[in-house]
C-alpha cells in the first residue's frame, strides 16, 4: 500500500489521477488564500451558509439539464445552479441581518438549514425519477475525486489558479479592509465593492470545491488552513503563504489517500489531513503552540522562583522550599548544607542591588513603573535603557551618601 501511495504522490499513476491531484492541490491553495481574508474579516462561517445554500441549486441544475439535454450529469448546469443558489443564500443572510434584529450567526443558521432542507427534498424527488438513481449527486455532499472526470479536474485546476492569482493581486486592498475598513474608506476605497469581491472569490472556491470536498465539508477548506497559519505568524503575507501551503498540501495528500482507497470520501480524507496539520500547529508552533507557551511559562516561573529565593537569602531567610533550593544548589549559590557559597554571596548581592534599582524606579517614575509589565520580573538592565539605569544608580548612591552623613553627624553629637 505504501508503494502504491508513493506512486500516486509522485504522479506515476496515470494522467487522470495526476490531473485530479493537481486540481485538488490548487483548490486547497485557493481555499487557503481566500480563507485568510474571510477569517480576518470575521466572516468565516458565511462559507458554511454558502456551501449549504448550493444544494438546491445543484438539484435544480440537474433537473434543468435533464429537461434540456436528456441527462442531468452536466457540470456547467450544476455549477451555474449552485452559483446562483449560493448568491441567493448570501443575499438572504445579508437581508435578514440588515432588516431584522437577528444577529449574523442566527441569519446564517436560518438560511443554512432552510436551503439544505430544500436541497434534501429535491434530491429525494430526483431519486424517484427514472434517471435519478444514476444522478450521483451524493458525491456533492462529501466529495469524490475517484469519480472525477479529466475535464472536471482541469476546470477545477484552472478556476482555482485564477482565484489564487486574483486574491494575491488584491491582497493589499483585502488586508486593509480586513484590519481597518474605516481607514480604507477614508482613503477613498470602495469598501463595499472590495467586500463583494472577497465574497465572490469565497463563493467561487465553494462552488468549484463541491466535487472535491463536498458542500458539507467545504467550510473546513477555508477555515482550517488560515487558522493553522495564524499559529505561526502575525504577518499577513506570510500568513497567506502558510495558509496556501497548508490548504494545498491537505488537498493533495487527501486526494491521494482517496485515490488509494476509493471507498473513502475525498472530502473526509482532505479534512482529516488538514486537521492533522492544524493539530501539529496547535501543539508545536514556536510562537503560539501549546508546547511553546507551556515551556515559556515554566521558564518564567523558574526565573521568578530563583529571584525570590535570592532576595530571601539577602534578608537572611534560609528556609527555602525544595524547588528553589535545588535551583540555587545547581548554580552553586548554596551548598548541600544550605550555607551560601562565595559565588552565592556575589549573586545575592547583585540581585538585591537589582531589586533596589527597581524600587528606586518605582519611587522616581511611579506612572511608568506601574505601566511596566516586567517590573521586578527581569533584570533591570534588560528592560530599561542604559541612561535610565545609570540615573537610578546615581539616585541610590546619593541616598547612601546622605544616610552616611547623617550617621556621622549623629555620632559626633553623641561624642560632644
Note the pLDDT tens digit of each residue in 284-308: 999 899 999 999 999 888 989 999 9
Q: What is the DSSP string of 314-340?
A: HTT-----HHHHHHHHHHTSB-TTSPB
Instruction: Dig out the grid coordinates for 316 from the structure.
Output: 537572611
Going by pLDDT thresholds of 50, 70 and 90, the confidence category of residue 188 is confident
Instruction: Dig out the grid coordinates for 262 from the structure.
Output: 476509493
Average pLDDT over residues 337-347: 88
- The residue written with cell numbers 436560518 in the block is 110
- Residue 42, phi-psi category: left (phi > 0), alpha (psi -120 to 50), beta (remainder): left
- Residue 70, phi-psi category: left (phi > 0), alpha (psi -120 to 50), beta (remainder): left
Contact (Cβ atoms closer than 8 angstroms) between residue 37 and residue 243:
no
Q: What is the pLDDT of residue 132?
A: 57
Rg value, the chain, Cα: 32
Tens-place pLDDT, residues 14-39? 777 788 888 889 999 999 999 999 99
Average pLDDT over residues 253-264: 82
Residue 340 DSSP SS3: strand
- Is residue 351 over pLDDT 50? yes
- Is residue 135 over pLDDT 60? no
Average pLDDT over residues 218-247: 93
Average pLDDT over residues 332-345: 87
Average pLDDT over residues 368-376: 85
Average pLDDT over residues 339-346: 90
Average pLDDT over residues 372-396: 88
Going by pLDDT thresholds of 50, 70 and 90, the confidence category of residue 416 is very low
Neighbours of 355 (CB within 10 A): 16
- Is residue 141 over pLDDT 70? yes
Q: Which residue has the higher pLDDT, 149 or 36?
A: 36
Q: What is the pLDDT of residue 241?
A: 95
Q: What is the pLDDT of residue 164?
A: 94
Which residues make beta-bridge pairs with 340? 334
Helix (H) or strand (E) holding 354: helix 342-364
- Mean pLDDT: which of 1-5, 17-21, 129-133, 288-292 is highest? 288-292
Q: What is the largest CA-CA distance in the chain?
A: 124
Alpha-carbon torsion angle 28, 76, 79, 218, nearest 10: -30
Average pLDDT over residues 194-209: 89
pTM of the model: 0.81
Going by pLDDT thresholds of 50, 70 and 90, the confidence category of residue 134 is low
Q: What is the pLDDT of residue 415?
A: 44
- When the pLDDT of each residue in the chain is averaged and rounded to a whole number, the result is 85
CA distance 9 to 187: 47
Which residues make beta-bridge pairs with 334? 340
Average pLDDT over residues 176-204: 90
Instruction: Dig out the grid coordinates for 137 from the structure.
Output: 449527486
Calculate what percentage of the chain has a pLDDT beyond 90: 32
Q: What is the pLDDT of residue 411?
A: 43
Going by pLDDT thresholds of 50, 70 and 90, the confidence category of residue 176 is very high
Read off φ and ψ for residue 218, nearest 5 degrees: -65, -25
DSSP 234: S
Taking the mean position of all CA atoms in its chain, how far away is CA 387?
41
Q: What is the pLDDT of residue 136?
A: 65
Tens-place pLDDT, residues 60-95? 988 888 888 877 677 788 888 989 998 998 889 888
Indicate the range of 57-71, 104-118, 120-134 predicted with least confidence.
120-134
Going by pLDDT thresholds of 50, 70 and 90, the confidence category of residue 408 is very low
Read off φ and ψ for residue 340, nearest 5 degrees: -75, 135
- Which of 13, 170, 75 minimizes the C-alpha distance to 22? 13
Report in angstroms the alpha-carbon separations of 311 from 33, 289, 302. Answer: 52, 33, 14
Amino acid at each position: 500500500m505504501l508503494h502504491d501511495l508513493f506512486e500516486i504522490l509522485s504522479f506515476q499513476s496515470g494522467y487522470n489521477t495526476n490531473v485530479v491531484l493537481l486540481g485538488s492541490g490548487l483548490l486547497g491553495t485557493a481555499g487557503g488564500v481566500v480563507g485568510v481574508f474571510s477569517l480576518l474579516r470575521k466572516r468565516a462561517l458565511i462559507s458554511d451558509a454558502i456551501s449549504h445554500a448550493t444544494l438546491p441549486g445543484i438539484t435544480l441544475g440537474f433537473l434543468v439539464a435533464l429537461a434540456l439535454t436528456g441527462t442531468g450529469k452536466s457540470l456547467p448546469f450544476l455549477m451555474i445552479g449552485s452559483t446562483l443558489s449560493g448568491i441567493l443564500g448570501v443575499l438572504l443572510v445579508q437581508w435578514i441581518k440588515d432588516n431584522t434584529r437577528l444577529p449574523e450567526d442566527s441569519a446564517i443558521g436560518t438560511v443554512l438549514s432552510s436551503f439544505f432542507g430544500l436541497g434534501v427534498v429535491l434530491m429525494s424527488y430526483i431519486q424517484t425519477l427514472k434517471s435519478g438513481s444514476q444522478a450521483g449527486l451524493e458525491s456533492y455532499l462529501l466529495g469524490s475525486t475517484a469519480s472525477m472526470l479529466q475535464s472536471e479536474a482541469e476546470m477545477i485546476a484552472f478556476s482555482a489558479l485564477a482565484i489564487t492569482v486574483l486574491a494575491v493581486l488584491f491582497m493589499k486592498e483585502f488586508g486593509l479592509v480586513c484590519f481597518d475598513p474605516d481607514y480604507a474608506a477614508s482613503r477613498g476605497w470602495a469598501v463595499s465593492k472590495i467586500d463583494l469581491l472577497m465574497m465572490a472569490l469565497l463563493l467561487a472556491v465553494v462552488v468549484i470545491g463541491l466535487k472535491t470536498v463536498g458542500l458539507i465539508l467545504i467550510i473546513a477548506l477555508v477555515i482550517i488552513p488560515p487558522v493553522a497559519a495564524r499559529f505561526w505568524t502575525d504577518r499577513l503575507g506570510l500568513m497567506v503563504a502558510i495558509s496556501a501551503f497548508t490548504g494545498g498540501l491537505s488537498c493533495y495528500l487527501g486526494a491521494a489517500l482517496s485515490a488509494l482507497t476509493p471507498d473513502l470520501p475525498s472530502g473526509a480524507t482532505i479534512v482529516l489531513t488538514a486537521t492533522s496539520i492544524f493539530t501539529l500547529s496547535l501543539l508545536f508552533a514556536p510562537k503560539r503552540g501549546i508546547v511553546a507557551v507551556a515551556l515559556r511559562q515554566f521558564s518564567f516561573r523558574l526565573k521568578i522562583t530563583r529571584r525570590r529565593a535570592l532576595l530571601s537569602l539577602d534578608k537572611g531567610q534560609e528556609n527555602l522550599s525544595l524547588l528553589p533550593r535545588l535551583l540555587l544548589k545547581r548554580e552553586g549559590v548554596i551548598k548541600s548544607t544550605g550555607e551560601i557559597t562565595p559565588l552565592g554571596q556575589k549573586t545575592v548581592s547583585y540581585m538585591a542591588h537589582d531589586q533596589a534599582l527597581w524600587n528606586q524606579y518605582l519611587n522616581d517614575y511611579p506612572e511608568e513603573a506601574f505601566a511596566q509589565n516586567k517590573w521586578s520580573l527581569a533584570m533591570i538592565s534588560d528592560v530599561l535603557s542604559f541612561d535610565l539605569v545609570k540615573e537610578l544608580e546615581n539616585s541610590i548612591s546619593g541616598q547612601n551618601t546622605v544616610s552616611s552623613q547623617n550617621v556621622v553627624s549623629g555620632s559626633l553629637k553623641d561624642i560632644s
